[in-house]
């Protein structure tokens, strides 16, 4: 959420910056400014009346003590009128605060200067591409056919038990999935991240804190009776550990990782893009979350990008890194780097990770602050990244490591498995 103090100081610059997203938010920011002016005026008036009321109340005691009962009665009536005005103004202040908050929830984060303007993924910029396309000696099968051929994943059983997008992993397919999770967690631990196993459901305050709520796109599964939400990523529970927190000093760099199943409705997509593991409603992911001093967040972002690069290189997968344009950025992000691996059998790029810096946008919602060297509170910066999302990584491994005899296993995973190939 944008800070109201920032809107007061930089409104025109923020409006211009948000145009990179391909949408004009001038109406919302102008409304916020107008309401904020009214709020400040009403609050000042309320505080003035409150001060006057307190002053008159003190005089009543003195008048009664000196026997001036008539004057005291007049003062009591004056106090009652002032209290009435104060309450009326307080109600107006609360109403204005609610309207401002509602509008602030509609405004996304402002893209950083290096984020390109654009409306969709066509306007994203490829900043790096690593590796060579796999060449096959025979016909290359897509992962859903390989999964069926080697009895690794049962998509039809998932449809029977739950619905489309909820597959069963079985046998060596389940073991390979688990090996990837353990590998990703082990690499995160080596990089200094503390592992958590967080809850898979969060309350409304947590969803608001990281920006998933209000859910404009209807992506979250909602358990309405208890008003709990299934997590779309472990970013939500992990970051919310520090909701309503003031870190005691400037000396912090908080690094968390967690493996969880994740749940997304992913409405409105059809065709080959959603076939097999390409898009699921339930999927596994290892997430990295960082809470940083504003002076360290750019360095932290670079470290996270390099961490994901290292994972993909150890798995031997061809990949590319995209800097997302304004129109393709997530609502809360100031800058995002997407990682895509190449599926040689499908002949297409598959997104496997997003690494994002949110600056103070989430921290402002979370009330996540630290005390600076002047002992004043200041908002932290937050970051997160997938390291990695499992479905498309597994799809790419099955497809790119297939041979006429079976599927080879990347050497880096051999320590986590009791087999070296799938036949």
Across 5-9, 33-37, 49-53, 354-358, least confident range = 49-53
Give the CB-side neighbour count of residue 220, counting CA atoms within 13 A. Answer: 25
pLDDT bracket for residue 308 (50, 70, 90): very high
If you average pLDDT over residues 125-144, what whole number do you get? 92
Q: Locate CATH 3.30.930.10 in the chain.
A: 121-422
Q: Locate CATH 1.10.287.40 in the chain.
A: 4-104
What does the alpha-carbon distance between residue 47 and residue 85 come to, in Å, rounded to a whole number?
Answer: 11
Q: Tokens 């404009």: give the residue.
A: 216
Residue 114 per-residue DSSP state: T
Instruction: Of 117, 94, 101, give the one whose Cα is nearest residue 7.
Output: 101
Is domain 4-104 in CATH 3.40.50.300, yes or no?
Answer: no
Quick: pLDDT tens for 320-376.
999 999 999 999 999 999 999 999 899 999 999 999 999 999 999 999 999 999 999
Give the pLDDT score at 76.
85
What does the alpha-carbon distance between residue 177 and residue 167 come to, in Å, rounded to a whole number?
Answer: 12
pLDDT bracket for residue 269 (50, 70, 90): low
Quick: pLDDT tens for 49-99.
999 988 888 888 777 777 777 887 788 888 899 999 999 999 999 999 999
Annotated binding-site residues read 233, 264-266, 287, 351-354, 384
What does the alpha-carbon distance between residue 19 and residue 22 come to, in Å, rounded to a whole number?
Answer: 5
Q: What is the DSSP string of 46-79?
A: HHHHHHHHHHHHHHHHHHHHTT-HHHHHHHHHHH
Annotated binding-site residues for ATP read 264-266, 351-354
Quick: pLDDT tens for 166-183.
999 999 999 999 999 999
CATH of 121-422, one of 3.40.50.450, 3.30.930.10, 3.40.50.720, 3.30.413.10: 3.30.930.10
If you average pLDDT over residues 14-25, what whole number do you get? 96
Annotated binding-site residues for L-serine read 233, 264, 287, 384
What does the alpha-carbon distance between residue 167 and residue 359 come to, in Å, rounded to a whole number?
Answer: 36
């Amino acid at each position: 959420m944008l800070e109201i103090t920032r809107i007061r100081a930089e409104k025109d610059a923020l409006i211009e910056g948000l145009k990179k997203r391909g949408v004009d938010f001038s109406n919302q920011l102008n409304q916020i400014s107008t309401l904020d002016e009214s709020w400040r005026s009403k609050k000042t008036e309320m505080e003035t009346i409150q001060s006057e009321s307190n002053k008159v109340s003190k005089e009543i005691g003195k008048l009664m003590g000196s026997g001036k009962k008539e004057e005291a009665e007049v003062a009591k009536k004056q106090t009652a009128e002032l209290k009435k005005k104060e309450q009326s103004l307080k109600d107006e202040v609360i109403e204005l605060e609610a309207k401002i908050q509602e509008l602030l929830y509609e405004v996304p984060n402002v893209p950083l200067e290096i984020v390109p303007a654009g409306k969709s993924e066509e306007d994203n910029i490829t900043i790096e591409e690593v590796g060579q396309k796999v060449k096959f000696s025979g016909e290359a099968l897509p992962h859903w056919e390989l999964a069926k051929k080697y009895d690794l994943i049962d998509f039809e059983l998932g449809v029977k038990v739950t619905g489309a997008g909820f597959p069963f992993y079985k046998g060596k397919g389940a073991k390979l999935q688990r090996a990837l999770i353990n590998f990703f967690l082990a690499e995160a631990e080596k990089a200094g991240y503390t592992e958590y196993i967080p809850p898979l459901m969060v309350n409304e305050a947590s969803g608001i804190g990281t920006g998933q709520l209000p859910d404009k796109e209807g992506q979250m599964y909602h358990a309405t009776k208890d008003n709990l939400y299934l997590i779309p990523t472990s970013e939500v529970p992990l970051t919310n550990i520090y909701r309503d927190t003031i870190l005691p000093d400037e000396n912090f760099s908080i690094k968390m990782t967690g493996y969880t199943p994740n749940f997304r409705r992913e409405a409105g997509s059809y065709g080959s893009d959603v076939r097999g593991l390409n898009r699921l409603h339930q999927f596994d992911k290892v997430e990295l979350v960082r809470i940083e001093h504003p002076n360290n967040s750019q360095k932290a972002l670079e470290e996270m990008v390099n961490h994901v690069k290292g994972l993909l290189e150890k798995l031997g997968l061809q990949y590319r890194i995209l800097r997302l344009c304004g129109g393709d950025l997530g609502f809360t992000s100031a800058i995002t780097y997407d990682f895509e691996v190449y599926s040689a059998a499908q002949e297409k790029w598959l997104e496997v990770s997003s690494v994002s810096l949110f600056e103070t946008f989430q921290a402002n919602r979370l009330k996540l602050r630290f005390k600076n060297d002047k002992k004043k509170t200041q908002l932290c910066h937050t970051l997160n990244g997938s390291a990695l999302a499992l479905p498309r990584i597994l799809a790419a491994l099955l497809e790119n490591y297939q041979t006429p005899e079976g599927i080879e296993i990347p050497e880096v995973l051999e320590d986590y498995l009791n087999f070296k190939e799938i036949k």
